[in-house]
Amino acid sequence: MQELYVERLGQRGEGIARAPDGPVYVPYALAGETILAEVSGERGKLIEILAPSPARIDAFCQYYGVCGGCAVQTLTPDAYADWKRNLLVDALRHAGLTPPVDPLIDAHGVGRRRATFHARYESAGRPKVGFMQARAHEIVTIEACPILAPSLQPAPQIAQKIARALGAAGKPLDILITSTLSGPDVDIRGHGALSPAEMQALVRAAVADDLARISNHGVRVIERRVPLLRIGRADVALPPGGFLQATQAGEEALAAKVCAALKGARRIGDLFAGLGTFSLRLAEQARVHAVDSEPAALDALSKAARSTPSLQPVTIETRDLFQRPLAADDLAGFDAVVFDPPRAGAEAQARALAASKVPLVVAVSCNVQSFARDAALLTSGGYQFESVTPFDQFRYSPHVEIVGVFRRPAVRGRTRRLLG
């Protein structure tokens, strides 16, 4: 047992203290606190808070400290917002960038509209269903989660029923449940092929809980209603297991920032376009070319665009932008480009953009490190930060969404003519 003084919060939300042998990372401890901790190497387990931080408040969830879903629930709102914003500031500084960073925008809204539950089987096929324990492979059984949207509150019980329906196989499952306009949509991963009896059990579960759809590894088992999402003016059919932003408020906040930055552009490239979070809204004001590696997402985007009156043309291209980024010649016809890659970022595409003459680039990211790396590539190619804004879509986690706007000063006059 060691007495430690916590100097700051780290990138995962853990308290970082200085011990004789080096830094110690203590989950759930806050900056400015004196604590007792069990220490093993660099890891510490919080035992007692001897002197609490003035910014400490009570956690609101009964599972906090056990469930790994939330890293920081006990900070006052102002201290929490500063910590999250500084995650981005620090990542940019480490990349050699010091642009002004806007205040954190709360994009949690009414809560998460999608969640992945994990199921593991104990003796006699009894499932244990919930979220993963913090820094462990054990499952914390969850009866209710307060950060889920009201429409997703039944999700823990739905996941339990799905796990019981597949209990005979005893395979570990990941159960993704998404709230849609048509009702809950479920995609199961980890089971493999289903037997006829298992398919019938899932059909019964879908009927009992009025689910819109159940799919297994992206293959439809039963679709009682097409799971629909509203993106801008368009209704979009969500492909099985398809990606979308975690909260409705987050999607709308990010899209509003992107659309405002690109206002006036006549032809826009939307890279890593997915279902059309940005494409379908940008098509209200410009022609859009949407590029992604997922054919199902692009097909859903294209169908939604064609069936929505008053949108300008949206073209699609299936392409792996990690392996085959759009080169400078491919990018020459765009007034502006937006890219929103997975957590790994868009290093190859950022390099290609840096070598292009696109006047305006908007980078969207869910990872501060990969965003900082890609931003450094763009600035090394002559772009300048116009703005950078952090969004808190994943409240109480260490994840930050970012929108960065980059412009080429050398073509500013040309850009004004194009966008005027």
Catalytic residues, by residue number, are 366
Phi first, then psi: give them for residue 331, nearest 5 degrees: -90, -5
Please answer whether residues 385 and 233 qualify as being in contact, where contact means their C-beta atoms are separated by less than 8 angstroms: no
Residues 6+ apart with CB under 8 A from 229: 180, 181, 235, 236, 238, 244, 275
Q: Give one DSSP letter per residue of 236-298, joined into a string.
A: EEPPTT----S-HHHHHHHHHHHHHHTTT-SEEEEET-TTTTTHHHHTTTSEEEEEES-HHHH
Say how far apart CA 173 and CA 84 lie, in whole Å.
32
Say how far apart CA 177 and CA 180 lie, in whole Å.
10
In one-letter notation, the amino acid at residue 274 is G
Closest among 292, 251, 249, 248 to 269, alpha carbons compared: 292
Say how far apart CA 365 and CA 343 lie, in whole Å.
7
Please answer whether residues 133 and 166 qualify as being in contact, where contact means their C-beta atoms are separated by less than 8 angstroms: no
Q: What is the DSSP letter of 150?
A: G
Residue found by looking up tokens 């392409």 in the block: 319
In one-letter notation, the amino acid at residue 15 is G
Three-state DSSP class for 16?
strand
Say how far apart CA 49 and CA 30 lie, in whole Å.
10
Question: Is residue 273 exposed (0-12), middle (13-18) or buried (19+ Cβ within 10 Å)?
Answer: buried
Report long-range pairs for 239-242 (Cβ below 8 Å, ≥24 apart): 239/275, 239/294, 239/296, 239/297, 239/299, 239/300, 240/185, 240/187, 240/213, 240/215, 240/296, 241/176, 241/187, 241/189, 241/215, 241/217, 242/274, 242/275, 242/294, 242/296, 242/297, 242/300
How many angstroms from the chain centroid is the CA of residue 419? 30
